[in-house]
A and B are shown apart, each in its own frame.
Chain A
């Protein structure tokens, strides 16, 4: 009897065990005002869908229509995004950030691996008007050999534009892959003041660094918009670190062209 009772109870538990419907979490969170909401906002590259939740901004994406965005969001994050019904403060913050203002934003990176998060945080440090090579990011986060993985992590950026993955470029200063396409990447960098084609042309001639004897330092050619634009006759085109060091120049503390 004991055996039978145990079996009966086990069967009872198994047969009456339920899994909540796929909508359950989102619907419940929505009732509490905790679900992801989204709206469209203007950006340099045109309108983008922006989603957020109490953790911060969760997604920035271009999509053909709301249905396509919702489908993508659900596939990517396995939760639902609902159209916004109010206009919380975070939307204004994102709007200002997309317009180029320096705004401190909370960003929801819970679905990223620690490595991906490290890459994205590093990309966040790159100022507007600057760019850094993939290898630079890898070196800065102490994973100098993980250059390809850096590229993947940036491709996986849930909030492009807000985390400026477009400011990370190839070592030959061609722009490389971008979620909104390479042309959009060039356009964004140009918009921020970087002379993409001039820098590419320098790289083609083997110029890797710009020496600034006035400041006794040498930089990456992408260390701010003025470095190339000003055509300062005192600046020196350099092919290698050795060349720079031989001139007695120190590495720039902003773009950190070599490992500390």
Chain B
């Protein structure tokens, strides 16, 4: 298991902006909240779109995330807001709402395929025609690999290797011990690698 993939640690940074914003929120939620939305909206929409495979639905869920966050902040006292790890907190809310959005169905993580099996474009940038076939195949494969992971491996894997959160943040977002999220992210990675090897 620990036969690792050297140099494969994603670059993760402390969410410095999040710390500054948490302080600003502690001073005045109403004044600082717009900046929170602007700072995290693209990430949150992306997370939701990857999970739901539907851009418009993803925006609705992302809006719900911010509404829920704002309502929660209004009930927190200042010291609690100041200590908030904003990025992982918003991810936690997003994961919950995405789960609600697909409740009763299998979580369609990266359910990005059309009925004919071709990838459904959700991103903003379209690949050039020359690279299109290869690129689509590759990210479609990764999407399939992620979709077949169990929910606990998938959450840890996606937060680590797609969203590039630190393990501390992931533990925070998933409310799980650090050791558990490290093990799950790693098992997810091995699993994805095995899946891709099978496909090639």
Q: How many residues of A contact B (CB 8 A)?
A: 29
Q: Counting CB contacts under 8 A, is B2 at the interface? A: no
Q: Counting CB contacts under 8 A, is A9 at the interface? A: yes
Which stretch from A29-37, A67-75, A88-96, A201-209 is at the chain B interface?
A: A29-37
- B136 surroundings in chain A (CB, below 8 A): 15
The reply to whether B62 and A32 contact each other, CB–CB distance below 8 Å, is: no
- B143 surroundings in chain A (CB, below 8 A): 12, 16
Q: How many residues of B contact A (CB 8 A)?
A: 46
The reply to whether B59 and A20 contact each other, CB–CB distance below 8 Å, is: yes
CB proximity of A8 to chain B, nearest CB, Å: 5
- A55 surroundings in chain B (CB, below 8 A): 31
B124 touches which one: A13, A17, A25, A31 (CB < 8 A)? Answer: A17
CA distance A27 to B37 in the complex (A): 11
A20-B70 CB under 8 A given contacts A1-B197, A6-B8, A55-B31: no
- A7 surroundings in chain B (CB, below 8 A): 138
Hey, what's the 0/1 contact readout for B100-121 against A, CB within 8 Å counting as 1? 0000000000101000000100
CB proximity of A36 to chain B, nearest CB, Å: 10
Q: Which residue of chain B lies nearest to A33 when distances are taken between CB atoms in the complex?
A: B30
Hey, what's the 0/1 contact readout for A18-49 against B, CB within 8 Å counting as 1? 11110011011101101000000000000000
The reply to whether B37 and A29 contact each other, CB–CB distance below 8 Å, is: yes
- A17 surroundings in chain B (CB, below 8 A): 42, 46, 123-125
- A2 surroundings in chain B (CB, below 8 A): 5-6, 8
The reply to whether A18 and B58 contact each other, CB–CB distance below 8 Å, is: yes
The reply to whether A18 and B196 contact each other, CB–CB distance below 8 Å, is: no
Interface centre among A5, A15, A19, A24 (most CB of B within 10 A): A15
Q: Counting CB contacts under 8 A, is A54 at the interface? A: yes
The reply to whether A5 and B41 contact each other, CB–CB distance below 8 Å, is: no
- A21 surroundings in chain B (CB, below 8 A): 59
The reply to whether A25 and B162 contact each other, CB–CB distance below 8 Å, is: no
- B8 surroundings in chain A (CB, below 8 A): 2, 5-6
A12-B38 CB under 8 A given contacts A18-B124, A32-B70: no
CB proximity of A202 to chain B, nearest CB, Å: 46
Q: Which residue of chain A lies nearest to B70 when distances are taken between CB atoms in the complex?
A: A32
The reply to whether A25 and B41 contact each other, CB–CB distance below 8 Å, is: yes
The reply to whether A20 and B33 contact each other, CB–CB distance below 8 Å, is: no
CB proximity of A136 to chain B, nearest CB, Å: 33
The reply to whether A24 and B62 contact each other, CB–CB distance below 8 Å, is: yes
Q: Counting CB contacts under 8 A, is A104 at the interface? A: no
The reply to whether B141 and A32 contact each other, CB–CB distance below 8 Å, is: no
Q: Counting CB contacts under 8 A, is B22 at the interface? A: no
- A1 surroundings in chain B (CB, below 8 A): 193, 196-197
Q: Counting CB contacts under 8 A, is A145 at the interface? A: no
Q: Counting CB contacts under 8 A, is B142 at the interface? A: yes
Q: Which residue of chain A lies nearest to B63 when distances are taken between CB atoms in the complex?
A: A28
The reply to whether B63 and A29 contact each other, CB–CB distance below 8 Å, is: no
CA distance A9 to B124 in the complex (A): 17
The reply to whether A32 and B135 contact each other, CB–CB distance below 8 Å, is: no
Q: Counting CB contacts under 8 A, is A231 at the interface? A: no
The reply to whether A24 and B45 contact each other, CB–CB distance below 8 Å, is: yes
Q: Counting CB contacts under 8 A, is A14 at the interface? A: yes
CA distance A8 to B195 in the complex (A): 12
- B142 surroundings in chain A (CB, below 8 A): 8-9, 11-12
Q: Which residue of chain B lies nearest to A35 when distances are taken between CB atoms in the complex?
A: B34
Q: Counting CB contacts under 8 A, is B89 at the interface? A: no
The reply to whether B58 and A27 contact each other, CB–CB distance below 8 Å, is: no
A20-B45 CB under 8 A given contacts A5-B192, A25-B38, A32-B33: yes
Q: Which 10 A-B pairs have the closest CB atoms?
A: A12-B142, A20-B41, A12-B139, A54-B30, A18-B46, A15-B139, A20-B45, A11-B139, A18-B45, A8-B138
